Amino acid sequence: MTTSEGSHSQAKPARVLGTVDAVVIGVAAMIGAGVFAVFAPAADSAGAWLPVALLIAGVIAYCNATSSARLAARHPQSGGSYVYGRERLGELWGYVAGWAFVVGKIASCAAMALTFAAYAVPQQWERPAAAAAVVVLTAVNYLGLRSSAWLTRVLLAVVLVVLGAVVVVALGSGETDPAHLAVSREWPGFFGLLGAAGMLFFAFAGYARIATLGGEVRDPRRTIPRAITLALAGVLVVYLAVGASVLMVMGRGALADSAAPLADTVVAAGWPQLVPAVVVGAALASLGALLSLVLGVSRTVAAMAADGHLPGYLAGVHPRFGGAHRAEVAVGAVVVLLVLTMDVRGAIGFSAFGVLVYYAVANASALLLGPDENRPLLLVPVVGLAGCVVLAFSLPLDSVIAGVAVVVAGVAVWLLRRGVDWSGFR
């Protein structure tokens, strides 16, 4: 079995991130615009079974986090599942993971930028504002991870204050009804339940951002597993608190019909004056997620370029700031193009499919960890792998079709470049 030492072509950026910075990047990537919007479409899909869908999403997220943490400890390099799949399953599977991550998360970057603009500016200015946000945050990342981590911490603190205010107001109001948390007998069907879980999982996704920064954290064998665990645990607590508060105030029917569930919650609780704060929180959450997304995607692009799957020019590391500056600029440019031309709903659905493919490769890789490599219990990667596949194909049909088409196209390009060399299937 090859190890991380075999990745001789990997770029070597500066190791500047500690545990706190890594946790902040991971939490900010998870607590993005999704928490301000995801509960409404999930309730529409799962109905009274929304809490069960949240539990399913949380279990799969835990399995993915555990598999990613154990793999990151063995392969502490930038690239995440791209590196894990390449080292454990073969070059093709690493490429599939990297391809799915890059394409899916670039679409997610566009969705986050458009979400920010939708909250922050009038409709006619949304696309120019989204493009401007991408340019500014790409510049922040270009200047180095210390600047990025500092700004991410500020944005995350503001968003957490807003979410905390929503929870306190909701639980302290006379409109709170704990009976709304009871699971009813209304069965939404497996596609309804699992489709909602897939959407909720999309809101959890982000802990892999820590693993993709494996080459830039201090003491990665200790820092990465610890940061992933802390980030996921914190986000689970936040989502449970916010989700329960929204459900108890609005009920499942009103929640499913809401376009802005957190804003509607504070209004229903008798605090309409908090709506501007919720709007600001949603805009800042989008910026925090966009900052982390551009950071993670650019590192995977650089890793794939270093291994010859993308133009080698993109693997360059800035001599002063220590970041993958060429990949950052390239990713930012593509995202700007997408926000000027793309629909946000299609971007979110396709991104969810790509994220689940990415984590499926991570779990499959974790199955091959040896007994001397601190492998998780076998049940963990098995549940994670099966869950990712099931949730991916429970998403809306157009997202599944588009996702499969793009993954197949990426594999076709890889095979053509290799002259249909099937050794990558080993």
Domain boundaries, the chain: 14-418
Question: Which among 346, 315, 348 is positioned nearest to 330, based on CA atoms?
Answer: 315
CA angle 126, 332, 315 (to 5 degrees): 170
Contact 110, 332 (CB under 8 A): no
Confidence (pLDDT) at 322: 57
Give the whole-angstrom CA distance, residue 13 versus residue 295.
13
pLDDT, tens digit (0-9, with 9 covering 90-100), for 334-345 = 999 988 887 776
Give the whole-angstrom CA distance, residue 119 versus residue 277.
11
Give the whole-angstrom CA distance, residue 151 versus residue 144.
11
> What's domain 14-418's superfamily in CATH?
Amino acid/polyamine transporter I (1.20.1740.10)
Confidence (pLDDT) at 426: 45
CB atoms within 10 A of CB 14: 16
What integer is the mean pLDDT of 6-10?
Answer: 42
Give Rg (Cα) of the chain. Answer: 20
Q: Please state the separation of Cα 149 from the chain's center in Å.
A: 17
Contact 109, 290 (CB under 8 A): yes
Over the chain, what is the mean pLDDT? Answer: 81
pLDDT higher than 60, residue 146:
no
Confidence (pLDDT) at 381: 94
Is pLDDT larger for residue 180 or for residue 313? 180
Residue 264 pLDDT grade (very low, low, confident, very high; cuts 50, 70, 90): confident
Give the whole-angstrom CA distance, residue 303 versus residue 310.
9
Terminal CA-CA length for the chain: 12
Does the pTM surpass 0.95? The reply is: no
Instruction: Give the highest mean pLDDT range of 273-287, 292-306, 407-421.
Output: 273-287
